[in-house]
Amino acid sequence: MNILLTGGSGQVGQEIIKSKPEEIEIINPCRKKLDLSDYRACKNFVMDHKPDWIINCGAYTQVDDAEKNIQLSQKINGYALGAFVEASNETSTNLLHISTDFVFDGNQNFPYKENQKRNPISQYGSSKALGEELIEKKINDIQKATILRTSWVISPLGKNFILTMLRLHSEKEIIRVVSDQIGCPTSAKELAKVCWRIIELKKKKKLPFIFHWSDAGVASWFDIAVAVGEIAKELDINKKEAIVLPINTSQYPTQAQRPKYSLLNTQNTSNLLDINPIHWRKNLKNILIEYKNLKIYRA
């Protein structure tokens, strides 16, 4: 089986590559070889290579910058999916597309289910919603496409909140972090396992069009910042931890509005794939252990 992986240099893409089953071959073009903002290139790449699957981890993920780079984010997060589906209809390729909690508005206080209506409140969210809509609209056989929504992705590599907090804990005495946005982190490594499980099970049975996945538990950014400080000190990554003070979203203005509440209901995914999510704090510790090992290895 051969798989076209986009976004192979990103957090999720790297974990997909690391956990690849032996019998699977991955084609992993860098941005220069396949620019997701180029509709024709996306379509032609699939037509030329005729992969069995596309795993689409590539995305315009700078949530604040998307507010000004609207067209670019729509091309990469939206129209590229239209191109992939148009080609996949002809080549009989399956699509696994990674999407986001940001397709919801965050105005409820219980976890979002897969069938709830999209109502994004940022340009990033709108561009990701556009991608989902185009898959839905253009796909000939709905069994050939899967959307896997996730939230607050973290890993020992790349750019993410954990690595920013690690640095701030080592540099500052006090860190002020937003405590009124509620969601749940997702270990990129655990998400990659879910991707491979979907691909494996799809060979044997019909599965739903949309899945939700995050780690187990609930957190605010403040909670995660506190946990990073504690665990990093315990693991001797940092010599000290800063005092973390909770603030409101209004005290930390950003270009893009973010959902106040973006927990995803993962029950259905868990049941259908027979995988139980691990609590986010446990995954966070594993990520920090891996970070420490990578640091020692690089030094």
Ligand X SMILES: NC(=O)c1ccc[n+]([C@@H]2O[C@H](COP(=O)([O-])OP(=O)(O)OC[C@H]3O[C@@H](n4cnc5c(N)ncnc54)[C@H](OP(=O)(O)O)[C@@H]3O)[C@@H](O)[C@H]2O)c1
Out of 42, 54, 66, 76, the only residue in the binding site for ligand X (CB under 6 A) is 76
Give residues with Cβ within 8 angstroms of 115, minimum separation 6: 210
Out of 20, 26, 37, 144, the only residue in the binding site for ligand X (CB under 6 A) is 37
36 binds ligand X (CB under 6 A): yes
Q: What is the rounded CA–CA span in Å between residue 190 and residue 37? A: 28
35 binds ligand X (CB under 6 A): yes
β-strands 2-6, 186-187 pairing = unpaired
Residue 92, φ and ψ in degrees, nearest 5: 60, 35
12 binds ligand X (CB under 6 A): yes
Question: In this complex, which beta carbon is closest to ligand X, that of residue 233 or of residue 275?
Answer: 275
**β-bridge partners, 246:** 177
13 binds ligand X (CB under 6 A): yes
Out of 100, 126, 127, 179, the only residue in the binding site for ligand X (CB under 6 A) is 100
Total number of residues that touch ligand X (CB under 6 A): 25
Q: What is the rounded CA–CA span in Å between residue 80 and residue 82? A: 5
Question: In this complex, which beta carbon is closest to ligand X, that of residue 3 or of residue 241?
Answer: 3
Shortest Å distance, C-beta 4 to ligand X: 12
Angle at 9 between CA 49 and CA 86, to 5 degrees: 35
Question: In this complex, which beta carbon is closest to ligand X, that of residue 59 or of residue 241?
Answer: 59
The dihedral through the CA atoms of 258, 161, 240, 218 has a sign that is positive
From 10-18, 41-49, 163-171, 291-299, span contacting ligand X (CB under 6 A): 10-18
Closest CA to 244 of 265, 220, 268: 220
184 binds ligand X (CB under 6 A): no
Q: Which residues bind ligand X (CB under 6 A)?
A: 6-7, 9-13, 31, 35-37, 57-61, 76, 98, 100, 128, 150-153, 158
